[in-house]
Amino acid sequence: MPENTTTAPPGLPVDETATAAGQELKQQYTLRSAFALSFSDVSPIVGLYGVFALGIVTAGPAFWWAFPVVLVGQLLVSGVFGELVSRWPLQGSVYQWARHLIGPRYGWFTNWAYMWGLTLALSALSYAASGFLIEAIGIAVSGPTQALIALGVLLFGSAANMIGGRVLKVLLYGSLTAELVATLGIGIVLLFVHREHALSAILSGGGTAHGAQWLFGPFLAAVAMVGWSFVGFESAGSIAEEVKESRRVLPKAMPLALTAVGLLVAFAGLGILLAVPDVAAVLSGKDADPVATTLQTRLGSSTGSALLIALVVGFTASLMAVQAAVSRAIWAGARDRVIPGARLLGTLSGTERVPRNAIALTVVIAGSLLFISASKVYALLLSFANAGFYISYALPVLGAVCVRLRGTWQPGEVSMGRWGTPVTLAAAVWVTFELVNIAWPRALNGVWYLDWGLLIMTGVLGVIGVLVSWWVFRPGRGASPAPALRSVALDEGGA
């Protein structure tokens, strides 16, 4: 068989998965391109710009400490995921890991949360990118017109994904370079040339609260918000069967991408915080865009246009990476015959063997949500996007805890050794805490059903998920055991 193709997940018999997939996957990604995908999915520009203003308003300049707290917690999770992907380097990442650890239904609900979280994130990213693009062009548009522009952004990213890995990799490398230069450059210039405040400024809550009240109130809210800044690193695992030497490559790519983005976000965020012209204006809401204000004030008005272009690039690149991940998760579920429309969604197309039908499904769902963006319903739907990530992170991590406590864990090619159990337990504590923290209803929106929106959406999608899973796993349908799960005994850590 040629080196760049495979008809089976690594470690699985060709004859079993060939009949299930009916297609060939091309191994066209390496450590560098897998790193670029994870880096772009997390995205330092998206991570920083998406939470900066909210963080200051919520907890004052000291909200910056949420960055290292969340980064450390997520690095624990990436360590667990590194072991899991080395054992099961299969399309769909969290879905496959949870499925093999506990069982088909457990994996199914993990994938349900993952698919919805990422699809809703697509809608948010495309809408945000359209707003920055409109500002860069300098035109005034109505809500429906912006939705159409956002749909155009979504279609552009989808076209790149549908063409295949070669185009996607070029775009991801370009965005990685742009984001690296932009965030590192901003941090250096503001921190060492245009610093306005002393370093002690990051110890101030800005009057949001004091002492323990600040720590267990505003700061916890900031930690919940910053949780959005460090999700998506697992996206490289979603394309595992398309990555060469995936058992060794992916356990490196995921934590490396997360660490790089985390350090860039913390560094650039510190530079911006210490250069903000008027912190009081930000806290009062008079300055709703402190990042743009700071850069324009310190670096000149021409920086504003460059910032907008960088934001468009960053959000669009993140969109493409998110879509690559969710389309593989959908395809993996279709291959295992555990989602409706499996025959259609499990098809690969083109010379680069891309799941175009799965990509098209994400366009239909995310694109439809764009046209209700002006309503409260849109905010309610997006409130689940962040939690969708953490639910889908928590389930495989908790599954790994169960397997380790039962003493049945068999490590793959990459292992944390004796540190495996304590790191897994610490990751479980972290991801459970952060999930509860994100879901906790806070009076931030002024409307009760938005404050409780995440719990409402989780309940609604959970009920729908129960109904769909009942149909999928009904007796006689033959949805499980899936090909990869039947052969798990053959995959004890070697390729």
| pLDDT tens string 297-346 | 888 777 777 777 888 888 888 899 999 999 999 999 999 888 888 889 98
Q: What's the chain's average pLDDT? A: 84
- Banded pLDDT at 84 (limits 50, 70, 90): very high
Using alpha carbons only, what angle is made at residue 164 by residues 74 and 10, rounded to the nearest 5 degrees? 60
Q: How confident is the model at residue 444 (pLDDT cuts 50, 70, 90)?
A: low
Query: Any idea where the domains of the chain sit in the sequence?
Result: 48-484
- Mind listing the pLDDT tens digit for each residue in 453-462? 778 878 888 8
Cα–Cα distances (Å) from 241 to 21, 176, 332, in that order, read 13, 23, 10
Q: Does pLDDT of 450 surpass 80?
A: no
According to CATH, the topology of domain 48-484 is: Amino acid/polyamine transporter I (1.20.1740)
The arithmetic mean of pLDDT across residues 77-96, rounded, is 94
pLDDT at res. 428: 97
Q: What is the mean pLDDT of residues 190-214?
A: 89
In this prediction, residue 495 carries a pLDDT of 32
Residue appearing with tokens 């669009």: 316
Check: CB of residue 284 under 8 Å from CB of residue 208. no
Tell me the pLDDT band of 382, cut-offs 50, 70 and 90.
low
The answer, yes or no, to whether residue 492 has pLDDT greater than 70, is no
Instruction: Name the pTM for this structure.
Output: 0.87
Instruction: Answer whether residue 247 shows pLDDT above 70.
Output: yes
What gap in Å lies between CA 410 and CA 432, rounded to an integer? 24
Residue 222 phi, psi (nearest 5):
-65, -40
- Res 445: pLDDT: 59
DSSP sequence for 277-291:
S-HHHHHHTS-S-HH
HEC secondary structure over 136-170 = HHCCCCCHHHHHHHHHHHHHHHHHHHHHCHHHHHH
pLDDT in tens, 406-439: 999 999 899 999 999 999 999 999 999 999 998 8
